[in-house]
Chains A and B, each alone.
Chain A
Amino acid sequence: MGLTNTPSDLLPGTLELLILKTLVSGATHGYGIVEHLRQASDDVLRVGESALYPALQRLLLNGWVKAEWGTSENNRRARYYTLTAAGRKQLAAERAEFDRMVGVIQRVLGTT
């Protein structure tokens, strides 16, 4: 799989789910999220900026994450995203939904 710049390569909402999961281990900036996703997926998931930032803004709009300006490793101003309580709840819910969805898809694929 190449560069994911359109979320349509994933199941709808999956990118948000992955971002929320990434933020469970602590606050990080956009590049940190992309890198974490890349490493955790063994280089399979490469998320482009034009997909990442709209997704982050959607999470902000819904109040699932909050953002604070901080300083990055290379001494630049960077926005650090933190999971909110509502975000944690949302993660649990979406995770359950995702599991159900995957199960359904596998069942469909399993029946020939």
Chain B
Amino acid sequence: MNRFLRGLLHLLRRSRHDADLREEIETHRALRQAALERDGLDSGDAAWASQRAMGNVTLAVEEVRDVWVSRAVDQLWQDIRIAVRGLSKNPVFTLVAIATLALGIGANTALFSIFNGLILRPLPVRDPSRLALLTDGGWSYPVWAEIRARENDLFDGAFAWSGERFDLSRGGQSAFVDGAYVSGRFFEVLGVSAVRGRMLTPADDGVGAMDGSVAVISHRFWREHFAGADDVVGRRVTLQRRAFTIIGVMPPGFFGVDVGRMTDVMLPFAAEPRIRGQESLLAAVDSAWLDMMVRLKPGQSLEQANAALRGVQPQIRAATVSGVVGARAARYLTNPLTLAAATTGRSSLRTQFETPLFAMVVAVGLLLLVACTNIASLLVARALARRRELSVRMALGGSRGRLARLLFTESLIVAMAGAALGLVFASWSGALLVRQLTTWESNVSLELVLDWRVLGFTAALACASAIVAGVAPVLGLQSVAAGEALKDAGRGLAGDRRFAVRGTLAVAQIAVSLILVTAAGLFLRSFASLNQLPLGFVPEPLLVAELQSSDAPIEQRGPRAERLRAAAAAVPGVRSASLSRVPLLTGGGWGANRIAIDDGPMPVEDRSDQRLWRNATTPGWFETMGTPLVNGRDFTDGDRVGAPLVAIVNQAFVRRYRLGQQPIGRTVRIGLSNGERRYEIVGLVGDSVYTSTRDGMMATMYEPLAQIDPEDFRETVVLTINAAHGQRAAVERDVAAALARTEPTVAFTVRTFDQFIDATVTQERLIAMLSSFFGGLALLLAGIGLYGIVAQAVRTRQGEIGLRMALGAQPAGIVRLVLRRVGVLIVVGLALGLAGSLWAAQFVGPLLFQVEARDPATFVGAAGVLVAGGVLAAWLPARRAARLDPAAVLREG
């Protein structure tokens, strides 16, 4: 090591060392001269003799240099200088190559940094490898209370949290912020400390603690809402219409434990009853709304922790089983509690995006391959153009290995520059991609960090690119012989073998591009078919306002909603306004597990995906939505509490429960934990979607909103407004004003159905967008590659073409001559690409909706696009060839 350092120092002070050595040797010579003079020579002879005895001083200096710095390092430095000089002599080539690679590497890095942020990166907390998540979703608060009572016996602490959205507004339209209820030791167990004030402690979370109205805010929230003010501690923030005192600010980079979600506000669980009032879930055993993590003791393995947990499982289950009934209770008691490693936190995005992300990583890898092939092709062309120079270098004694290294250094430099630019491109495009994931219902926030994983990945990509792009020109070097190019003055002939390398590269490029274009076509068709799905209602004129009445006592919610509905209906431009209990297209809803028709037997439980969905509406709702009433009647004002229970069903319901031609007048029985309710069917309506467009038409039963028991009235109710044609935007504004005027404390959001539908196709839209981008880019690169080959071929064959034309060949014949060669490349490339696409289709299949993975139309279309692109790329230089003036060409040649 010391040796290496001394060598490095020497390199830095090289000219100084050389001068020292020359002086030392001169002293040596002078001493010898003096000795010779003492022996009797005269001073002139002595000087000459001493000079001669010395030998080659320059060589000695060089050899000394070799002692310190190995020749390889020196030559590497020289290679880099020559390569940079060569590259800067041809700036267009260099810029195209670097930009191509920057796009390729940048796109790869962007996707990888998302992959890294979502899946690989550990939580930014103390010792995240000791965290474990209690799996299988939500838990009730009583279960958490049982775990908390044992947290220090079984583990090194535990915590629970529940992600929530809080409304920051004091009235009118809602402004949501992502937040969470957390247990008292949340921050302590994670090992996260405050940058201002303090974090929550168990004292803040004591059930019934009077100090439940405290909040901790994120670093980002502090910056954005309080401008990073130092006196933020002690100030107030309004959440769900209630004031909370800020007691501390979380450190920058800490987002909570839900990866992909920025938890801006954290409240203790003690605050939950203050917000939810009578509907507080703290005592409910059947509400699964918490997640829990534990910190393993030092040295405790996951298996040991699981064993410890299972040891106390009977007590935990038994203490929390009351209220859970029947078959569910048995399952609840026996289902084993399981801990899973949670080093990287928890994320609902992971399962949703793992497969598409992987598919995109493959696609973008293929794209990089196309980019590298292009650069390889360009480098080969350059090497061919430089045959003369290389041949001369070889004739002057440059070894083949040294020349190969020189060519390779060029591709390495291009790759490094491309990677550096690619990092810039990646940090921009990665953030753009993440923004695409945000929808009305989930605010995706993922911090993309350039950590060692991302940088290492990029460096590896750059090296791989350099190798892929650099090998072909080096192989081509084998055909260069010393001095050969000096003899041959550059009169190339048609079937030149040198083009074989570039031809192979073009074939590979076309094949890979076809795979990417085919995939893009499949994803686009899949996305299109998702967007053309029938809804069963007319979304264009509709506005959906969700009214939040959590601040009002339950019994006042119904009348209040009706007042708001009437206010909205009175706004000019509103054709109708109706209420319903459940918003559509949110992925879930209000269902029934046990249902029977007429006097049929009541089933135990229906847990299939195709369960019965329910909704409750006011009269006129179907008309507002544009859903046709097929038979019977709509609800009327007479259908209210006390009147006989009635229901309207849709045609899917009739098919599912085999009601035949005459469903009106039949009875639907809904099983409850304490008995059942009977409804008479009074109307039949057309089908419509419920959970999401891709789930299709759902069997649905509608009840009058007025027949819902007042104590079952939810805190949100949906107001659907049908606006007159072309007035939706104006109506949205006026309705918002009217609602705020009518009930100053009501919170609401107004959305259109486009937003709901968009949210259900985020993944498909992203894939379609990305794959079209990649496909288009691959097509462009392949086109450039083909263009380059044909242009080069035309230049080399100029003499031959001129001769042919002088002998009477028609321009069309010349174009055909050039295209025939390219045609072979395209056909071979397409054949290989088709085989590759057919093979790759099996992986794409699961991501497609209503499109076959081997959809013939898409395959033919993709091939057509490639042929068109290829022919265009080849036709441009071919046409130029056909316009050559034969006389001029022959004179030059």
Interface of A with B (CB < 8 Å)? 3, 5, 29-31, 34-35, 48-50, 53-54, 57-58, 61-63, 72-74, 76-79
Give the docked Cα–Cα distance between A34 and B35 (Å).
13
Give the docked Cα–Cα distance between A29 and B31 (Å).
11
| Set of chain A residues within 8 Å of B23, measured between Cβ atoms | 77
Q: Choose, from B50-58, B293-301, B508-516, B743-751, the stretch at the interface.
A: B50-58
Taking the complex as formed, is B32 at the interface, i.e. its CB lies under 8 A from any CB of chain A? yes
| Per-residue A-contact encoding for B1-44, CB less than 8 Å = 1, 0 else | 01100110000000000001101111110111011000000000
Return the contact of A74 from the options B25, B34, B53 (Cβ within 8 A): B34
Is the CB–CB distance between A63 and B2 below 8 Å?
A: yes
Is the CB–CB distance between B20 and A57 below 8 Å?
A: no
| Set of chain A residues within 8 Å of B598, measured between Cβ atoms | none
Is the CB–CB distance between B3 and A62 below 8 Å?
A: yes
Return the contact of A31 from the options B31, B55, B59 (Cβ within 8 A): B31
Taking the complex as formed, is B64 at the interface, i.e. its CB lies under 8 A from any CB of chain A? yes
Taking the complex as formed, is B499 at the interface, i.e. its CB lies under 8 A from any CB of chain A? no
Closest to B6 in A: A61
Is the CB–CB distance between A76 and B30 below 8 Å?
A: yes
Give the docked Cα–Cα distance between A111 and B60 (Å).
41
Is the CB–CB distance between A57 and B64 below 8 Å?
A: yes
Taking the complex as formed, is B68 at the interface, i.e. its CB lies under 8 A from any CB of chain A? yes
Is the CB–CB distance between A50 and B57 below 8 Å?
A: yes
Known: A50-B59, A78-B27. A31 touches B3 (CB 8 A): no
Is the CB–CB distance between B27 and A72 below 8 Å?
A: yes
Q: Output the least CB separation between B269 and chain A (Å).
A: 67
Q: How many residues of B contact A (CB 8 A)?
A: 29
Contacts A34-B28, A63-B2 known; list 18 others, CB within 8 Å: A5-B55, A29-B28, A30-B24, A49-B54, A49-B57, A49-B60, A50-B54, A50-B59, A53-B21, A53-B63, A54-B63, A54-B67, A58-B67, A62-B3, A73-B31, A73-B34, A74-B34, A76-B26
Is the CB–CB distance between A53 and B25 below 8 Å?
A: yes
Is the CB–CB distance between B24 and A53 below 8 Å?
A: yes
Q: Output the least CB separation between B427 and chain A (Å).
A: 44
| Per-residue A-contact encoding for B84-101, CB less than 8 Å = 1, 0 else | 000000000000000000
Is the CB–CB distance between A30 and B7 below 8 Å?
A: no
Give the docked Cα–Cα distance between A35 and B31 (Å).
10
Interface of B with A (CB < 8 Å)? 2-3, 6-7, 20-21, 23-28, 30-32, 34-35, 53-57, 59-60, 63-64, 66-68
Give the docked Cα–Cα distance between A57 and B67 (Å).
7
Known: A31-B28, A78-B27. A50 touches B6 (CB 8 A): no
Give the docked Cα–Cα distance between A77 and B35 (Å).
17
| Set of chain B residues within 8 Å of A72, measured between Cβ atoms | 27, 31
Q: Output the least CB separation between A11 and chain B (Å).
A: 19
Is the CB–CB distance between A50 and B60 below 8 Å?
A: yes
| Set of chain A residues within 8 Å of B57, measured between Cβ atoms | 49-50
Is the CB–CB distance between A50 and B63 below 8 Å?
A: yes
| Set of chain A residues within 8 Å of B63, measured between Cβ atoms | 50, 53-54
| Set of chain B residues within 8 Å of A78, measured between Cβ atoms | 24, 27
| Set of chain A residues within 8 Å of B31, measured between Cβ atoms | 29, 31, 72-74, 76
| Set of chain B residues within 8 Å of A73, measured between Cβ atoms | 31, 34
Is the CB–CB distance between A79 and B24 below 8 Å?
A: yes
Return the contact of A29 from the options B21, B27, B67 (Cβ within 8 A): B27
Return the contact of B54 from the options A29, A48, A77 (Cβ within 8 A): A48
Return the contact of B27 from the options A3, A35, A54, A76 (Cβ within 8 A): A76
Give the docked Cα–Cα distance between A29 and B754 (Å).
90
| Set of chain B residues within 8 Å of A3, measured between Cβ atoms | 53, 55
Is the CB–CB distance between B28 and A54 below 8 Å?
A: no
Q: Output the least CB separation between B201 and chain A (Å).
A: 60
Give the docked Cα–Cα distance between A68 and B252 (Å).
55
| Set of chain A residues within 8 Å of B68, measured between Cβ atoms | 57, 61
Is the CB–CB distance between B55 and A53 below 8 Å?
A: no
Q: Output the least CB separation between B31 and chain A (Å).
A: 4
| Set of chain A residues within 8 Å of B6, measured between Cβ atoms | 61, 63
18 contacts between A and B (CB under 8 A): A3-B55, A29-B31, A30-B25, A31-B31, A35-B35, A50-B57, A54-B66, A57-B67, A61-B3, A61-B6, A61-B7, A61-B67, A63-B2, A73-B34, A76-B26, A76-B30, A77-B23, A78-B24
Residue with the highest number of chain A CB atoms closer than 10 Å, among B6, B30, B56, B67? B67
| Set of chain A residues within 8 Å of B25, measured between Cβ atoms | 30, 49, 53
Give the docked Cα–Cα distance between A34 and B29 (Å).
12
Q: Output the least CB separation between A31 and chain B (Å).
A: 4
| Set of chain B residues within 8 Å of A54, measured between Cβ atoms | 60, 63-64, 66-67
Give the docked Cα–Cα distance between A73 and B34 (Å).
10
Give the docked Cα–Cα distance between A15 and B128 (Å).
60
| Set of chain A residues within 8 Å of B35, measured between Cβ atoms | 35
Return the contact of B55 from the options A29, A48, A58, A74 (Cβ within 8 A): A48
Is the CB–CB distance between A31 and B67 below 8 Å?
A: no
Q: Output the least CB separation between A15 and chain B (Å).
A: 13
Q: Output the least CB separation between A29 and chain B (Å).
A: 7
Is the CB–CB distance between A30 and B55 below 8 Å?
A: no
Give the docked Cα–Cα distance between A5 and B56 (Å).
10
Give the docked Cα–Cα distance between A50 and B67 (Å).
12
Give the docked Cα–Cα distance between A57 and B34 (Å).
25
Give the docked Cα–Cα distance between A78 and B27 (Å).
6
Give the docked Cα–Cα distance between A61 and B28 (Å).
21
Closest to A59 in B: B67
Residue with the highest number of chain B CB atoms closer than 10 Å, among A50, A72, A73? A50
Give the docked Cα–Cα distance between A5 and B52 (Å).
12
In order of increasing CB-CB distance, the 6 nearest A-B pairs are A50-B60, A31-B31, A57-B67, A54-B63, A76-B27, A78-B27
Give the docked Cα–Cα distance between A106 and B413 (Å).
56
Give the docked Cα–Cα distance between A27 and B26 (Å).
19
Is the CB–CB distance between A31 and B32 below 8 Å?
A: yes
Q: Output the least CB separation between B26 and chain A (Å).
A: 8
Is the CB–CB distance between B60 and A77 below 8 Å?
A: no
Known: A48-B53, A61-B7, A63-B2. A53 touches B27 (CB 8 A): no
| Set of chain A residues within 8 Å of B66, measured between Cβ atoms | 54
Closest to B26 in A: A76
Is the CB–CB distance between B7 and A53 below 8 Å?
A: no
Closest to B34 in A: A74
Give the docked Cα–Cα distance between A50 and B21 (Å).
11
Is the CB–CB distance between B56 and A50 below 8 Å?
A: yes
| Set of chain B residues within 8 Å of A34, measured between Cβ atoms | 28
Give the docked Cα–Cα distance between A49 and B63 (Å).
11
Closest to B31 in A: A31
Known: A53-B60, A72-B27. A79 touches B7 (CB 8 A): no
| Set of chain B residues within 8 Å of A53, measured between Cβ atoms | 21, 24-25, 60, 63-64
Q: Output the least CB separation between B30 and chain A (Å).
A: 6
| Set of chain A residues within 8 Å of B2, measured between Cβ atoms | 63
Give the docked Cα–Cα distance between A8 and B53 (Å).
18
Give the docked Cα–Cα distance between A74 and B34 (Å).
8
Q: Output the least CB separation between B391 and chain A (Å).
A: 34
Q: Output the least CB separation between B847 and chain A (Å).
A: 61
Is the CB–CB distance between A77 and B64 below 8 Å?
A: no
